[in-house]
Amino acid sequence: MTRAMTTTTATTTVESPPPPKRPKLHGRTFYQSIGSPKRIVAPMVDASELAWRILSRKYNADAAYSPMLHARLFAETEPYRRQSLRYAPTSTSASHPEALLSYDGDHRLDRPFLIQFCANDPQHLLAAAKIAQHHCDAVDLNLGCPQGIARKGHYGAFLQEQPDLIYKLINTLHKELDVPVTAKIRILDTKESTLAYAKMVLDAGASILTVHGRRRDQKSHNTGLADWSYIRYLRDNLPPETVIFANGNILYNADVEACLEVTGADGVMCAETNLYNPAIFMPPTASFEERFPRVDVMVRQYLHIVRDLTFGEGNPVVELSKEQYRENASLTCVKSHLFKLLHAVFTRKEYHYIRNTLGKATGHKFDEILKLANELEKVVEEQLKLTPETPEQWDEIMKEAGGPGADAKILRIPWWRCQPYVRPTPQQAYENGAMQKSKKELSVASREGSKESKRELDTGSTASDSKERAPAKRQKLEEPQLEQIKVND
């Protein structure tokens, strides 16, 4: 998909030769060539697009992945490619309106950059990767998506039972591409089976192995905690030159350093928490202000990046056609990003009007969304006049963290600052109605209830005996394993 430069004479048009191939590196040599990144923005569907990657890099991210792209659609469908990948401007003249616009893989501000695909056909994957390889440092294969759409499309974590296919997918890219191939996996049921899986992926040619410390069935309210011990096991049992990125259990800045220490990984990848607080990768030594920026400041910075990418720095904001809007990934993702950045604000009823205004805003009328930033800034400034912040208050909040790695502690961050979303435990989700038990779970519960009733009748238990036992039974159900469950990175 690169555009060859041409020179024109009076009679002929001669194509200039393609740029020379870069030497293809592998494994740790490749990792070192891109600066040995330690803080990585994860590939996220409709979320890790160019504008968001630029924002995250401003807050200390070392590398970033594209959103997960569908290999077959990318290879075969031009409109999907235009929506998925923003190409370098064809003009280099500063007078051209698009000349200074940034693009995916821009060497000025979007590297290191890896493009991720989901696929179940080696040829579809290769065709897509050959188009994308000129815009990135490596191509990544998604083997970790646990969602229903991945089950239906038969990709992501639902390829785990087909090691031969996984090997062929990775090995085809390893042999045919000009850039390295990497892969992201989830852990399996045992450490031994996960190790065998990882070895197969590496033997196929993967230069970097990203390991999400959750199993395929750990998602939504059943997310639970990622198991870092699996990643440590891989680190201890794979060759030292293996490059590993760890993924899962990152809520606060201190968790990044704790994860590196506990797992021995080379880098830490963060997904969902990055969406709620793009400053997640700021070092633990940074100030409270730097680690938990004000939401109005973050929103304005983000919207200015989207504005400049869309219209050009200093150019007026104009209404776009629906086609222009659909083909601008950084613009189509704006509302989704804002709802996450402002989730703590929207827990307060007095600011539901901002949420409702955002919900009604249309992306191709970007000026409507820019006005929200003004309203948000006014709201936060009014709050700070009522309750001024002091360094002493910040220190008091941070004392509750309990030091690096105390990942079960939930900090009481003020609503006007960026902060992680903390999922309720499965038990809490059942109680507040956010999750319902499946027919299978209800059937099992019903059978167990029938057995319990039969035992009570058999032993001559009275109704009063049953009531006396009930409190202890509820207490056992309500006894939390942790204060909260981490988000599903």
Q: List the catalytic residues.
A: 145
> CA-CA distance, 177 to 180, in Å (whole number)?
7
> CA-CA distance, 403 to 255, in Å (whole number)?
9
Can you read off the two tokens belonging to residue 171?
């090995």
Query: Residue by residue, what is the 3-state secondary structure of 3-17?
Result: CCCEEECCCCEEECC
Can you read off the two tokens belonging to residue 152?
């239906």
Query: Residue by residue, what is the 3-state secondary structure of the chain?
Result: CCCCCEEECCCCEEECCCCCCCCCCCHHHHHHHCCCCCEEECCCCCCCCHHHHHHHHHCCCCEEECCCEEHHHHHHCHHHHHHHCCCCCCCCCCCCCCCCCCCCCCCCCCCCEEEEEECCCHHHHHHHHHHHHHHCCEEEEEECCCCHHHHHHCCHHHHCCCHHHHHHHHHHHHHHCCCCEEEEEECCCCHHHHHHHHHHHHHHCEEEEEEECCCCCCCHHHCCCCCHHHHHHHHHHCCCCCEEEEECCCCCHHHHHHHHHHHCCCEEEECHHHHHCHHHHCCCCCCHHHHCCEHHHHHHHHHHHHHHHHHCCCCCCCCCCHHHHHCCHHHHCHHHHHHHHCCCHHHCHHHHHHHHHHHHCCCCCHHHHHHHHHHHHHHHHHHHHHCCCCHHHHHHHHHCCCCCCCCCCCCCCCCCECCCCCECCHHHHHHHCCCCCCHHHHHHHHHHHHHHHHHHHHCCCCHHHHHHHHHHHHHHHHCCCCCCECCCC
- Of residues 85, 126, 84, 134, the one with CA closest to residue 107: 134
